[in-house]
A and B are shown apart, each in its own frame.
Chain A
Amino acid sequence: MTEPTLSAEASSAAGWQRLPVRARLLCLLGPVLPLLVPGVFGGVALARALDLWVIPLVTVALAVMLGTWIGLKQYRYTYWKLDDEGLAIRRGRMWQRETRVPITRVQHLDLKRGPLQRMRGLATLIVHTAGTRHSAVTVPHLDADDAERLRDRLGRQIDPDDDA
């Protein structure tokens, strides 16, 4: 389960970091599970209507495949970067989206670890800003140590003398 993820500090100059390989399975589960629900129900409904009981198997397989495909893409095209200016997250390939939270704009941070994430040594970092549309910027399935380092680094920057 060890793999060569560079620590945030060491490679911040090098630039973008990928999610650890351990995160791949969780990235897959993300889109697969929600797709399974319509896959199962839609399949059963169709099968009842047409009296063809292969359909659920097909729809479930389709849902799993589609979810896997989306998940793999999400896993492959999620990058993050921490530098002196703040945290940046780049996501997507068809629809590319890069969000940057300047270090001075960090309001507070959340570190979340679900049971599956704990088993694999991963964590989700949520950076809150005072903004409206991007009030919570999420970096899913980070390496747990990296996530903690990020939290400490970004958390340290929160201005102590906020005299309003």
Chain B
Amino acid sequence: MTTPDTGLPRSDTAAEHRLHPMSWLFVLLQQLKQFILPLIVLLVFGRGDRNELWPLIGVGVLVVLSLWQYFTYRYGVAGDHLVIRSGLLERSLRVIPFARIHNVALQQSLLHRVFGVAEVRLESAGGRKPEAEMRVLRLDDALALEALVRRRGAVATAAVDAEPAADVLLALSPGDVLRVGLVSNRGMIVVGAAAAAVSQASPRALPNLAETVGEWMFGYAGEHGFGVGEYAATGVALAVFAVGALRLFSILLAMLQYYGFRLSESGRRLTVERGLLARWRTSASRRRIQAWTLYEGVLHRMLKRRSLDVDTAVAEDGRQQRALRELAPIATPQACDALIDHLLPRAAWSSLEWRELPASSWWRLFLPSLPIVLIATVALEWRLGAWGLLALAWLPWSAFKARKHARRMAWCVNDDVLAVREGWWRRSWRFAELDKLQALTLTRSPIDRRCHTATLWLDTAGAGAMSAPLRIRFLPETEAVALYDALSRTLARRPLRW
């Protein structure tokens, strides 16, 4: 958005703020990130050939550009909107109404914390890029800006202490953070990233490592000629070691990301703070929440915990840590229910009347696993002979799971929310306010038509590609059509509020 600098008269802008004086350093670092490794390699391994210092000129140019940005970037408040000026040759003036800002994200890396500054991103719904990205502001300036958005720019002069005190809705203890690590598979990310980094550095490193380790292990095993029992024990021990290492990584990562997690509410805005070394602080209005997901996996159940996530309609670009996503990374079922009841008081979450779906449709949940298991069996049989038939043992388990799942499936709707419950082994509850629903779709597959059922899909904004859809499966046709019509009437009456 580049508009000529003729929009607002300068006097309209109450006070002009600048970026932090050190901001050029952070802009520079950001831009250098992709050059830094080759540069170091050049400097260290260069054979004293002067030509290899040419890239330094590029760095110099980057420094100038960063300084340039610092000197030309300023923001101020005019009435109920934020005004951002930037550019020296090509002037740009951006006006962002406070009401349009859905999400305010403050991010502090370790270096930011050393300098007492923070990176601020203001995001509106949709679009790929944030409305404004300020790299970097002094922490108190950043917090003041956040407060300003919260009050929608009103009474910019009011003292900070005049704000409603923030109520802490949920705070994770170190023990809880440990549990987050236990139930998550974040360790995979570390392993994946490490593998990627190593193979980036040297494409042969990983295969070589695998070969060496394999040779060493099998050579050792071959020399000593252990029995089947020892091999099995070794296999189990290796598996335990791998799982343990993965969990350890997960716990470490959870500690870094979730230490000091605190969900607080002040006025209508929810704020999440977390992080051990780098700190994140995200805040969004309660109203911006589009859909909710309550999840309980097997490990969750063993620890008697659940997690509560929300979708917000914010441009995300796949960077989850920015948007307000997790209201409770882990909490007891009671705490989750209390949180929902508190944030959605009209939904009457704890007294919803769940309507179960016909459990007789369990075989339709079982159906998809049939071809997969059969193919796997054929493949294994071909490789291993009769042992491959063991794969068929998955079928009874799958049928059992499908039956349990079908018995737990339920949905409910009242004047304010629509909720769907699914899963048995891994349970999930997904719900959204009726005011946040978008398009409705009713689908009928050939099997549906035979069984006189239908699937109702409900669309909400901001749902991730990976998140479970909000849909009611295997709904008896008459009920489905009635619900579809009723919802369509309701939605047409009520304006979208997002």
Residues of A within 8 A of B (CB): 84-86, 88, 94-105, 129-135, 137, 159, 163-164
Contacts and interface: CB of A to CB of B under 8 A. Distances in A.
A96 B437 CA distance: 22
Nearest to B463: A132
Nearest to B448: A96
A81 to B, nearest CB: 11
A100 B484 contact: yes
B445 interface: yes
Contacts of A98: 441-443, 484
A101 B496 contact: no
Interface string B75-102: 0000000000000000000000101100
Contacts, number: 94
Nearest to B494: A104
B489 A85 contact: yes
A102 B459 contact: no
Nearest to A163: B99
B457 A133 contact: yes
B491 A130 contact: no
B184 to A, nearest CB: 24
Contact of B461 (A100, A130, A164): A130
Nearest to A97: B443
A101 B487 CA distance: 11
B461 A132 contact: yes
Contacts of B313: 130
B126 A130 contact: yes
Contacts of B498: 130
Given A129-B459, A130-B498, A132-B459, A100 B99 contact: no
Nearest to B446: A94
Contact of B443 (A88, A95, A103, A163): A95
Interface of B: 97, 99-100, 125-126, 313, 437-446, 449, 457, 459-463, 469, 484, 488-489, 491-496, 498
Nearest to B97: A164
Given A86-B488, A95-B446, A131 B100 contact: no
Given A130-B125, A130-B126, A164-B99, A104 B492 contact: yes
A130 to B, nearest CB: 4
A101 B444 contact: no
A163 B463 CA distance: 23
Contacts of B493: 104
Contacts of B438: 101, 105, 129-131, 134-135
A159 B496 contact: yes
A129 B437 CA distance: 10
Contacts of B463: 131-133
Shortest beta-carbon contacts, A-B, top 9: A131-B438, A131-B459, A102-B491, A85-B492, A134-B439, A164-B99, A132-B463, A96-B444, A130-B461
B469 A102 contact: no
Contacts of B444: 95-97
Given A104-B492, A133-B469, 12 more contacts: A95-B443, A96-B449, A97-B442, A97-B443, A105-B437, A105-B438, A105-B439, A130-B126, A133-B459, A134-B438, A164-B97, A164-B99
Contacts of B494: 104
